[in-house]
Structure formats: structure tokens, C-alpha cells
Amino acid sequence: VPPHHPVVCCSAAGPQICTKRPGRGRTLLASQRKRRKSATPDPKEKQTCDIRLRVRAEYCQHETALQGNVFSNKQDPLERQFERFNQANTILKSRDLGSIICDIKFSELTYLDAFWRDYINGSLLEALKGVFITDSLKQAVGHEAIKLLVNVDEEDYEVGRQKLLRNLMLQTAP
């Protein structure tokens, strides 16, 4: 999550702003880049752009699940470390709450810009909290705090914005 976006944790005590983990870069494979770049569009045809929205729910704390559950009685320090790592990895994978990826198609620049503004100022995150942090999810995680992470790639937004800006220029051209 970019550093300027809040992360909201929801627990039995209610929502609160939590510390964020460092952002992760997104790299596309060459095949993905080729797929996302379209052929030269017909200038008379109205263009749309796709924006990928990623929404992920995570536990805020993992220490309690790891404490007392990660151990090794191996004599060799390297083997002991590998065994502990594998156990911790298994526990963390079992706590994966999942994510949802939405591809949103925009045909109007004003709607794209409003979406981006809502993403940047955190109101998109706030709106999505009510959709994704449901009572059934809260019940499933028990008393543990969870957070919602929302990500939209800025490069997708910039490319989409340029595409929709061309639409506007073509519409206003004589």
C-alpha cells in the first residue's frame, strides 16, 4: 500500500488506523504488458480504460498465532532455522483471508478522476470497508483485528487518463 494511504483495522473495539507495512512494487511479465497494450485504436471510436482495483483483508497481528506454535528440536542450527521457517510459513498461509481483484472499465474522464481522488484521499477504502469487513468475516476471525488493504496502480490510472483525455479532445475537435 503506498505510504500516503491509510490502513484501517477493524476489531471488536471498532475501526482504527493501523501501522502500514512497506508497499510492494508490482512487476508485469512481458506477456502481461503486451496483453494490456492494445493495438492502435480507431480515432473515431470512443475509447475506454481498465483500472485494476485490488482489495485484500489481512490480520493486523500474527505474533499470537506464531508464539508457542513455531519450534524445533533439531540439533543443527541451519536445520532448526529451516524447520521453524517452514512452520511459520504454514501458519501464516493458513491465516490468509484472501483478496479480490476487480477490473473496472471507465469511459468518462470525470468518473476516472473521481475514482482516483477517492482512492488517494482514503474515502474509497472507507467505502469498501463496509462491503468487505462483514459481520460474518468478523465472526470468522474471532477477536483478532483485521485490516483492509486497497491498491490501484498509478501507472494504470495515468495511461487510462491519457486515453480518456484523447476521447475528450476528439469529441471537441471540429
Task: Give the residue from 60, 55, 157, 75 showing the smallest Cα distance to 116.
Answer: 157
141 vs 114, residue with greater confidence: 114
3-state secondary structure of 36: helix
Residues 47-57, mean pLDDT to the nearest whole number:
92
Q: Are 53 and 99 in contact (CB under 8 A)?
A: no
Which band of pLDDT confidence, cut at 50, 70 and 90, is reported for residue 151?
very high
Query: What are the CA-CA distances from residue 96 to residues 60, 65, 91, 92 (Å)?
Result: 12, 12, 9, 7
The answer on pLDDT for 152 being more than 70 is yes
Q: Which residues pair with 146 in a beta bridge?
A: 10, 59
pLDDT score recorded for residue 22: 38
Residues 92-105, mean pLDDT to the nearest whole number:
89
Q: Are 54 and 99 in contact (CB under 8 A)?
A: yes
Break the chain into its structural domains and give their ranges.
Answer: 49-172
* Amino acid identity, position 9: C
Lowest-confidence segment of 21-35, 63-77, 145-159 by average pLDDT: 21-35
Lowest-confidence segment of 2-16, 31-45, 154-168 by average pLDDT: 2-16
Which band of pLDDT confidence, cut at 50, 70 and 90, is reported for residue 40?
low
Residues 25-38, mean pLDDT to the nearest whole number:
48
Q: Are 47 and 167 in contact (CB under 8 A)?
A: yes
Widest pairwise Cα distance in the chain: 80
pLDDT score recorded for residue 47: 83
> What's this model's pTM, rounded to 2 decimal places?
0.64
Contacts of 26 (CB under 8 A, 6+ apart): 153
Q: Which residues pair with 10 in a beta bridge?
A: 15, 146
Q: Are 47 and 38 in contact (CB under 8 A)?
A: no
pLDDT score recorded for residue 168: 82
The answer on pLDDT for 5 being more than 70 is no
